[in-house]
Structure 1
């Protein structure tokens, strides 16, 4: 990769940012495709997010941004427009800067998550899933699971009110799908799939998001945490005979969609 005056710059908004793995996948893929673009991490605290988004509108070399914890819902509110399911859910994890400086957001987490599971040969139709967490990534994953044919979905969150608000949003999408959606505990008993959609496991000493003694053999246990690759939850699930899906699978499934959404025109304008 050669950075020059024609490079399309993307920033990865996160807080903290040291765990980010997307640039390590995104930048080599752009090189492989001959696209003159680069993604760089930006650590931005929530209290400075609005200021940062205002700056993004002014930078003409900026093509867009990728967004992760804890900014996905706040960034959606700061976009000028949202496309696809992002508009219904009011959450975004990728933003395109338009030529006039306005910002367009989409959510691709769910597509990436489902794509990662399918690459492992996991069939989601007629399955039941427990999601722990009620933030932007949990919301996107839940929406994608509904579209993929899951018939029962439980949302477990430390704050019940937040889980109930998430379920209310999901029910706007579920009218065309035969799915039962509920708020409940993180007990995975009776579920085919258990998903940690929180940041628990990223730091030493974090509690397990799901009671590990209740995980059964052949249950599918999935993560959104990417660092460490094998979280304490995934290790314990493996020890219990479960099928595990690491967090990097969700990101790997989004790299090309990120490029298509943000750099579609740039592939013609800014070739290396």
Structure 2
């Protein structure tokens, strides 16, 4: 990393908790590789402090952009001045660029990063039946990108079904030919099983789905990066399933994030 000076451009990631994030390492490695005078730092901000943070960033002339993760993605969209069409459809933002006039422009890259991560590891989603645990911001983004990639069927399991029904109402307007089902906790009968919740980050977390119903010919994928081998992935591995770690989703987003925040420009 270059010496930090008054000319250094600042970037950040905001989360609560923050210890699990790997974006600072990944973005700063990208910055170093491309010989950019910039640095990305972690910001631990609770929900109650999010609005004050955003207002502060508007006035930071040397601030370039913000990566947004759990649990702020669905809240921060309302604090942006402009958001992409994809972000509007998903109802969440995971990347923000500060324009020179202080306006904040948001987008969502989670879904594209997740699907690209699968593809880079030889997993094609076209025509697959997909089980998705969760209906939050990341889950919505992943659901849209999976549908865009041509899956055949989507089953979504969430503790509260109204969130799932809302997701389907938006998805079906764009992808009316994809079968959508409010799923139970059982992933039985699906080709690809995805955990898009935060369950698995803490040792005391419950499992996001019924792992007893997993079978060896299924693929089980995570979005959680720390720990790398979550309880879900460990259980899937024990069942003989092919597993996909959470880190490839982030790795696939790094170039997209840097491009969106105009890092180095």
**What's the offset of the Cα at 1:34?**
1.2
Q: Given the two structures, how large is their TM-score scaled by the length of structure 1?
A: 0.94
- Aligned partners of 1:170, 1:47: CA distance in 2, in Å? 31
Paired residue total = 264
**What's the offset of the Cα at 1:89?**
2.0
Q: What residue number does 1:79 align with?
A: 80
**What's the offset of the Cα at 1:226?**
0.7
Alignment of 1:14-163 (within 5 A): 14-163=15-164
Deviations 1:136-155 (A, max 9, x none): 00000000000111110011
DSSP 3-state at the match of 2:261: helix
**What's the offset of the Cα at 1:186?**
2.3
Contact 1:216-1:241 at 8 Å conserved across structures:
yes
Say what the alpha-carbon RMSD is for the aligned residues: 1.1
DSSP 3-state at the match of 2:13: strand
Moved runs in structure 1, 4+ residues, more than 4 A?
Answer: none
- Aligned partners of 2:162, 2:191: CA distance in 1, in Å? 25
Contact 2:201-2:226 at 8 Å conserved across structures:
yes
**What's the offset of the Cα at 1:163?**
1.7
Q: What residue number does 2:182 align with?
A: 183
Contact 2:115-2:145 at 8 Å conserved across structures:
yes
Unaligned 5+ runs, structure 2: none
**What's the offset of the Cα at 1:172?**
3.1
Contact 2:58-2:98 at 8 Å conserved across structures:
yes
**What's the offset of the Cα at 1:56?**
0.9
**What's the offset of the Cα at 1:76?**
0.9
Contact 2:218-2:242 at 8 Å conserved across structures:
yes
Contact 1:143-1:173 at 8 Å conserved across structures:
no
Contact 1:215-1:237 at 8 Å conserved across structures:
yes
Matching of residue 267 in structure 1 with residue 260 in structure 2: no
**What's the offset of the Cα at 1:17?**
0.5
**What's the offset of the Cα at 1:31?**
0.5
**What's the offset of the Cα at 1:88?**
2.0
Q: Given the two structures, how large is their TM-score scaled by the length of structure 2?
A: 0.97
- Aligned partners of 1:171, 1:6: CA distance in 2, in Å? 48
Contact 1:89-1:170 at 8 Å conserved across structures:
no
- Aligned partners of 2:38, 2:167: CA distance in 1, in Å? 35
Relative to 1, partners in 2 of residues 1:172 and 1:62: Cα closer, same or farther, differing over 3 Å? farther
- Aligned partners of 1:182, 1:98: CA distance in 2, in Å? 41
Contact 1:130-1:186 at 8 Å conserved across structures:
no
**What's the offset of the Cα at 1:87?**
2.2
Q: What residue number does 1:230 align with?
A: 229
Contact 1:155-1:167 at 8 Å conserved across structures:
no
